[in-house]
Amino acid sequence: MSKREFQTEVNQLLQLIIHSLYSHPEIFLRELISNSSDALDKLRHLTLTDDAYKTVPFEPRIDLELDEEAKTLTIADSGIGMNEEDLVSHLGTIARSGTKNFLSQLSGDARKDSNLIGQFGVGFYSAFMVADKIEVVSRKAGEDKAWRWISDGQSGFDIEPAERSTVGTTILLHLNEEGKQYANSWRLQEIVKKYSNHIAFPIFLTYDKSEWNAEEKKSIKTRTTEQVNAASALWRRSKSELNDEDYKELYKSISGDSQDPLFWFHTKAEGSLEYTTLFYIPAKAPLDLYQADYRVGVKLYVKRVFIMDDAKELLPQYLRFVRGIIDSEDLPLNVSREILQQNRVLTSIRTASVKKILSELKSIATNKPDEYLKFIGEYNRPLKEGLYGDYANRETLLDLIRFKSTKVDGLTSLAEVMSRMKEGQKSIYYITGGSESLLRTSPLLEIYRKKDFEVLILEDEIDEIVFAGVDKYGEIDLKAVNKASTSEDLKEETETGKEEKAESLKPLLDKLKATLGDRVKDVRASVRLADSPSCIVFDESEPSLQMQQMLRAMGQKDVPAPVPTLEVNPDHEIVKKLLARTDDAITQDAAWLLFDQALLMEGVPLKDPATFVQRLNRMLSLSV
Ligand code: ADP
Ligand code: MG
């Protein structure tokens, strides 16, 4: 027998599991059963698709055996099994990088929720919550030798040759203090029903059943084996046969989530293509939603046979929060990932599925607005990502996304914004590039306020990129207010007296330009300001300051640093008075103060606060 070490991450994980993830230790059984079910799926897949395995008998079952006296529980399956290398690599390391990320994120006060175990696939190790010693005996399909893996979850593990007459895996748990409560047949049946009822294979429990014997007038124990789960592919039943509880149960068993889902959409397509889809929206966004190697939430089945659960091509990336099942009659069982990418059947299913999910969401938005707000609270941002790539569904996505705005307290839809447009208003306006409070107080909004136009507040960091590519909602133009071009809606304000104002302001504008030099592209009379003396704007084609900061933060080098144009408000008292001054020193200080305050309002920190304060004080001393 040879002693082997766990990979460092496994040790960390075991410490976490044993010491902090204690809230529902019962989930160990769900994890082990789902591993058995996976192993059965894999073997079935092989026997159906690989000639070398055609002769391997496939008699799928999962057996739980309870010894109440010895406080042991075994979980055995007739699945694909593991050989020596598999045991070392699957039960001694953590392959998924997502799990590693998860570990590094979990600090002392992180949510200690056993839910996480399922989400991050640390399944097998959860058995150490209830066992102080685990023995795994396994024989891999196509091989004669069997192996035993033994560990106490602390000092590494041992592997030795063993005996197993058939292919499969047996996991023997020596229950610890915490685990003794599971040496109880009632408890086990309850847990299997709760989490694993819809596992497609029969789960049997063997235990000492007590039955009252009328003749002997006492209860007698007999060793009994009973099937505990329903073992049906529930999604293949018709909607009328299923109730809410069925759907919720299935959700919990496939997602590892302990909360009820927000919504589910169950569709049976019959026609040129036959398939069933059942999609769920989790109540809380998955924790890995914004990680590059997020876990795919949709499982692919072909004719009830599990095929894979990590195919990113099943749904577009922006719908990665969706959980559920796609079960097709038309795909080949041996469909590979490469084939999936350009398979016409799958493309059709995917297109129809996206339409279905979005249209169901739309009807919830209309019919159950309160429920819909819960959804938006979690998933507004992924929907916005959809605007970026899913052109075909852009209009629907625009209807689904919710916005902050200058006219409402909570969130609003574009349809509502449209219904509030002023008579003759041509475009819908939005402002991006900064925090909500910064945007709400931006001088750029002044002219819209004056006209009583609504402006959408797009404060999410992805908004600027996403909405730069969206120029219409239906027939109506969507326009950013922080770009320099002016709109037809504002023609009256912007055109009247423009020339004269610019003309009369010219001497001042020239002085300001001379002072600010290459820090500005131009200085001009503003037509968009009401209360502020100045603001900065960028050309339509240039990224805003926030966007530049973001690009740099994301590690992009050579981000162009476009130079802003300073606009001053000809009707503002300060500007009017400045125009009348002849002393250069004051005009120069004022030039910098007008520029710096415009930057501050955009949320840009000053390059040289000391000089700014000196100038401010010089001005103050003149007026005090
Ligand atoms: P996951 O199921 O997310 O991969 P687990 O920790 O639950 O993570 O299991 C790790 C790996 O161990 C599985 O991916 C599988 O390869 C292997 N394994 C676990 N249990 C079994 C089993 N009963 N039969 C065959 N392989 C198993
Ligand atoms: Mg598992």
- pLDDT tens, 364-383? 999 999 999 999 999 999 99
The CATH fold of domain 2-227 = Heat Shock Protein 90 (3.30.565)
- pLDDT tens, 482-533? 775 667 787 777 666 677 777 888 999 999 999 999 999 999 988 888 889 9
At 102, is the pLDDT very low, low, confident or very high (cuts 50, 70, 90)?
low
Helix segments in 106-184, DSSP class H: 115-120
With a 6 A CB cut-off, is 82 part of the ligand 1 pocket?
A: yes
pLDDT higher than threshold 60 for residue 113: no
For the beta carbon of residue 606, count every other beta carbon within 10 angstroms. Answer: 13
Domains 2-227 and 498-539+553-623 share a fold: no
- How far does the chain reach from its first CA to its final CA, in angstroms? 89
Structurally, at CATH architecture level, domain 234-369 sits in: 2-Layer Sandwich (3.30)
Domain parsing of the chain, residue ranges: 2-227, 234-369, 498-539+553-623
Q: Which candidate, 63, 76, 73, places its Cα nearest to that of 173?
A: 73
3-state secondary structure 586-607: HHHHHHHHHHHHHHHHCCCCCC
What is the Cα–Cα distance from 320 to 314, expressed in whole angstroms? 10
With a 6 A CB cut-off, is 261 part of the ligand 1 pocket?
A: no
In the structure encoding, which two tokens stand for residue 261, read together? 């889902």
Q: How far is CA 546 from the centre of its chain?
A: 24
With a 6 A CB cut-off, is 32 part of the ligand 1 pocket?
A: no
Span from the CA of 171 to the centroid of ligand 2 (angstroms):
13
- pLDDT tens, 294-347? 888 999 988 877 788 888 889 999 999 999 999 998 988 777 777 888 889 999
In this predicted structure, what is the pLDDT of residue 100?
60
Span from the CA of 247 to the centroid of ligand 1 (angstroms):
26
For the beta carbon of residue 510, count every other beta carbon within 10 angstroms. Answer: 11
- pLDDT tens, 524-540? 988 888 889 999 888 77
With the most atoms of ligand 1 within 8 angstroms of its CB, the residue from 32, 38, 41, 91 to mutate is: 38
Q: Which candidate, 269, 193, 197, 190, places its Cα nearest to that of 233?
A: 197
Nearest CA to ligand 1 atom 15: 90
Span from the CA of 361 to the centroid of ligand 2 (angstroms):
31
What is the Cα–Cα distance from 83 to 395, expressed in whole angstroms? 53
Q: Measured from the CA of 123, which atom of ligand 1 is nearest?
A: 7
Nearest CA to ligand 1 atom 13: 90
Asked if 406 and 398 count as a contact pair (C-beta separation under 8 A), the reply is no
Q: Which ligand is nearest to the CA of 36?
A: 1
With a 6 A CB cut-off, is 124 part of the ligand 1 pocket?
A: yes
Q: What is the CATH number of domain 498-539+553-623?
A: 1.20.120.790
With a 6 A CB cut-off, is 319 part of the ligand 1 pocket?
A: no
Q: Which residues have their alpha-adjacent CB atom under 5 A from ion ligand 2?
A: 35, 123
pTM: 0.72
What is the Cα–Cα distance from 286 to 268, expressed in whole angstroms? 26
With a 6 A CB cut-off, is 96 part of the ligand 1 pocket?
A: no
With a 6 A CB cut-off, is 202 part of the ligand 1 pocket?
A: no
Nearest CA to ligand 1 atom 27: 35
What is the Cα–Cα distance from 423 to 147, expressed in whole angstroms? 79
- pLDDT tens, 19-38? 655 567 888 898 899 889 98
